[in-house]
Chains A and B, each alone.
Chain A
Amino acid sequence: MKKLEIINLRLKYQKEYILDGLNLTIHEGEIIVFLGQSGCGKTSLLKILLGILTPDEGTVRLNEQDITFLPPQKRKMGYVPQAQVLFPHMTVKENIMFGLNVNKSLTQPDRRYRQALALTQLTEFENRFPDELSGGQQQRVALARALVIEPQFLLLDEPLSSIDATGREELALMIRLIQQETNTTIIYVTHNHEEAKMLADRIAVLFDGKIQQIGHTPDVYSHPKNYQVAKILGKENIWSIIEILKQNDFVILKTNLGSIIIHEDLLKSNSPTGIELPLNIYSLEPLPDFESNSSSYIENESSTNIDEKKKEFIFICKINAIIDQKSEYKKIILCIWPNYSEIIKIFISNDVELSCSSNLFYRIRIPWSDFVIF
């Protein structure tokens, strides 16, 4: 059983730690996806694993052996970089054969080459030069080039980011397939949660130099640990909690939407960081006499927006856009009064009459049981 351990990894970039105490174990045969926003140090992490960068602190261990300073040449790790980085002066065949030509220890180069070619479905392009291929094809060449040395680990750095939508899916499937067929451990880095969902066995969400959450894909998706994770996972209608106040049995959560008061029992952890609103809203009532500048109305509303008995969350909004989905639901985008820059997206039945008028306000009620706090 091969395993790759990352222990307390730290990396400094321009006086700031972009990786700050990373701990992780990667097991053989899985696809692990590092998900994080651009610039969070994902690529640097990959490069540390590859041996291109050396960390400032911490160790990387492979099968209980310290490989932190092992040069990339000796790691047997396949690498597919972000942009389609092919050797421009070599044909597809030469590109793929490169690894085989420089590693004389690899036996049966032709068989390996044929196999990689078949896996990536590049047979007809053998003799072309990189600039004669599409982005997706180029990326497949890069993949084949990495695969051909039969690496212990395959490291992919946003391989789909610069490929058009159709090619993207195809390639994602291909990666999945290759993983199944070769049982290579894949370490995949991306900022795209869709890709992560599509590919990952396990997801590790990176933020602020740390792994915020790691787990199997469904677990992570259904239970994001905090607001940042939820945001990185691409959840819609999430709000960060700015302040938490306690009152008797109740907790007041101040968000950028307004305050929510909930019962202490509903809190799963002591310091929640965000809430998620459901996409389906039960009631959306127009407020014809609401005036946007009437502060009194707000006062009244805000004092009444916590109806303990009804256990509802109420806020006022304006319709920004109505998107007809040609189904029984339509998607509407609402901006929240008084801070119009806050937006939520909800689905609503086609039966409900709505108008996009700029001076028409609506009141939304959401029962406690429908929103998720994390």
Chain B
Amino acid sequence: MIKMKFKIMKKNRVFEVMLLFCLFFGIFIFPHSIRAVASEPKLTIYTYESLLADPGYDFIEGYSNYSGIPKDQIQLVALEDANSLITRLLGEKESPVADVVIGLDNSLIFEAKRYNLLKPYSSPLIENISSSLINNLDPDHYLLPYDYGIIAFNYDQLRVNTTTVPDLENLTLNKILDLDLAKKIVVEDPTLSSPGLGFLLWTIAVFGDPSINFTGILGDDWRNWWKSAAEDLRIANSWGAAFDIYDEPNENRPIMLSYGTSPAYTVCQGWGDNLKAFLSHENGTSNAWLQIEGIGLVNGASHTIEGQHFIDWFLGEELQSQIAENNWMYPANQQVQVSSCFNSAAINPDDVNILNNLITTSMLESNLAKWKQDWEETMVMKSPGISGFQNPFLFVFAISFSLGVILLLQQRKIFQLRKNVSPA
């Protein structure tokens, strides 16, 4: 009897634990949801995750203080990366949720325009932004630049320096191949990452593309450079992955493709000054691709006025002064001064021959998709194949054939079994 009772108690306890768990979950999630329903957002902003994130500036709070809109009425949706912004906006095209989108750059602008996702807005703050930035991003003001920075190779001075590579400060893309430096470099996949894409455009601007009669600086074909470099370069799928490879000394990739402002991060954040940046020096100039990030109004947004106010604030001095040391780019607003620490460590785009001037926006618009595709073909076709099955159809055939044989054998076995085993 006692045993029985104990058993029942045990059972009940399991049930109680489950009940408690469910209650706990209910308390935890539902009130939150109800609260969210209660406050209909006055402004919805889409951006990518790392915007102003390191060490971090809470711009929602900043804007809330500035505008008086309660913080919980400003909805911030941070997506994984800038590409996800396009996906999200495209999915919601019929009934947009977002009012403002932050973080599309001078290559994604074409996708946004192609699908008609944005609405032009000429903010009064444009006058504080250099016209070359505006023209290189979007002369039609669908997107307005809020920061910019050049793509550059970063290297660890302790592992690579002018003693090991004397030409380090004066490299060209071709010299990188000649000196076998590609084995020490990690770059990002141009189809997955914006600095990666910047670098692809950099090589295109330097070498040119005969297929569209674009000579670039050197009048060669950019594909040749990638073909020679493909085997030696490490290609990471994101900036973070590239950094991990760079950061791990054993990987022996002390050079990574990053930004000209990255040295400023390490210096100003107290990580030491071993991280340096270099560019390519074809024809005696320092050449680099400029990435310009923009903010824009979503086409069909329900809070256009609030959105415009927010953009004005975002381009204004209060926020722009936070750009340099939280987003680690140059602020687009020329009125804003960056700290001396930042300025001394970062490469200022103004001191560099900007390759964007060679590739016009219209050229970029009509060729970008094809360039990416060509790049992938160049890389993938370089990949190791498995001999014997060079023809994929043959391979598929072989697989289905063997599968069919197995099935057939199996069928025979089943058949035999049936014959032998009639019900006992």
Q: Which residues of A contact B (CB under 8 A)?
A: 13-14, 18, 38-39, 41-44, 82
Contact = CB atoms under 8 A, between A and B. Distances in A.
B423 A18 contact: yes
B424 A39 contact: yes
Given A13-B422, A39-B423, A39-B424, 10 more contacts: A18-B422, A18-B423, A38-B424, A39-B421, A39-B422, A41-B423, A43-B423, A43-B424, A44-B423, A82-B424
A38 B423 CA distance: 9
A13 B424 contact: no
Which of B418, B421, B422, B424 gathers the greatest number of chain A CB atoms within 10 Å? B424
Interface string B403-424: 0000000000000001001111
A41 B422 CA distance: 9
Contacts of A41: 423
A177 B422 CA distance: 34
Nearest to A157: B424
Contacts of A42: 424
Nearest to B424: A43
B125 to A, nearest CB: 75
Contacts of A43: 423-424
Contacts of A39: 421-424
Contacts of A82: 424
B168 to A, nearest CB: 73
A18 B418 CA distance: 14
4 residue pairs, one from A and one from B, having the closest CB atoms: A39-B422, A43-B424, A44-B423, A13-B423
B159 to A, nearest CB: 63
Question: Chain B's interface: helix, strand, loop or mixed, by majority?
Answer: loop
B74 to A, nearest CB: 59
A39 B421 CA distance: 8
B422 to A, nearest CB: 4
Nearest to A189: B424
B418 A14 contact: yes
A61 B421 CA distance: 30
Contacts of B421: 39
B234 to A, nearest CB: 56
17 contacts: A13-B422, A13-B423, A14-B418, A14-B422, A18-B422, A18-B423, A38-B424, A39-B421, A39-B422, A39-B423, A39-B424, A41-B423, A42-B424, A43-B423, A43-B424, A44-B423, A82-B424
Interface residues of B, number: 5
Contacts of A18: 422-423
A13 B423 CA distance: 8
Contacts of A14: 418, 422
Contacts of A38: 424
A39 B422 CA distance: 6
B92 to A, nearest CB: 54
Nearest to A82: B424
A44 B424 CA distance: 7
Nearest to B421: A39
B416 to A, nearest CB: 14
A18 B421 CA distance: 13
A42 B423 CA distance: 9
Contacts of A13: 422-423
Nearest to B420: A39
Nearest to B422: A39
B104 to A, nearest CB: 62
A130 B423 CA distance: 26
Contacts of B418: 14
A43 B423 CA distance: 7
A14 B423 CA distance: 10
Nearest to A53: B423
A82 B423 CA distance: 13
A220 B421 CA distance: 29
Nearest to A47: B423
Interface string B304-315: 000000000000
Nearest to B419: A14
Nearest to B418: A14
Contacts of A44: 423
A205 B19 CA distance: 61
A14 B415 CA distance: 12
Contacts of B422: 13-14, 18, 39
B288 to A, nearest CB: 72
A295 to B, nearest CB: 39
A42 B422 CA distance: 11
A190 to B, nearest CB: 11
Interface string B345-381: 0000000000000000000000000000000000000
A43 B421 CA distance: 13
Contacts of B423: 13, 18, 39, 41, 43-44
A82 B424 CA distance: 10
A18 B424 CA distance: 10
A68 B204 CA distance: 85
A55 to B, nearest CB: 13
Which of A13, A18, A39 gathers the greatest number of chain B CB atoms within 10 Å? A39
A364 to B, nearest CB: 38
A291 B52 CA distance: 110
B418 to A, nearest CB: 7
A220 to B, nearest CB: 22
A105 B104 CA distance: 77
A288 B273 CA distance: 116
A82 B422 CA distance: 16
Nearest to A43: B424
A174 to B, nearest CB: 24
A44 B418 CA distance: 16
B424 to A, nearest CB: 4
A349 B423 CA distance: 45
Contacts of B424: 38-39, 42-43, 82
B321 to A, nearest CB: 72
Which of B421, B422, B423 gathers the greatest number of chain A CB atoms within 10 Å? B423
A245 B423 CA distance: 38
A247 B281 CA distance: 121
A71 to B, nearest CB: 20
A103 to B, nearest CB: 20
Interface in B175-192: none
A42 B418 CA distance: 18
A37 to B, nearest CB: 10
A14 B417 CA distance: 13
A43 B422 CA distance: 11
A38 B422 CA distance: 9
Nearest to A158: B424
Nearest to A39: B422
A273 to B, nearest CB: 24
A161 to B, nearest CB: 10
A335 to B, nearest CB: 28
A22 to B, nearest CB: 15
A38 B418 CA distance: 14
A82 B421 CA distance: 15
B1 to A, nearest CB: 14
A303 B423 CA distance: 47
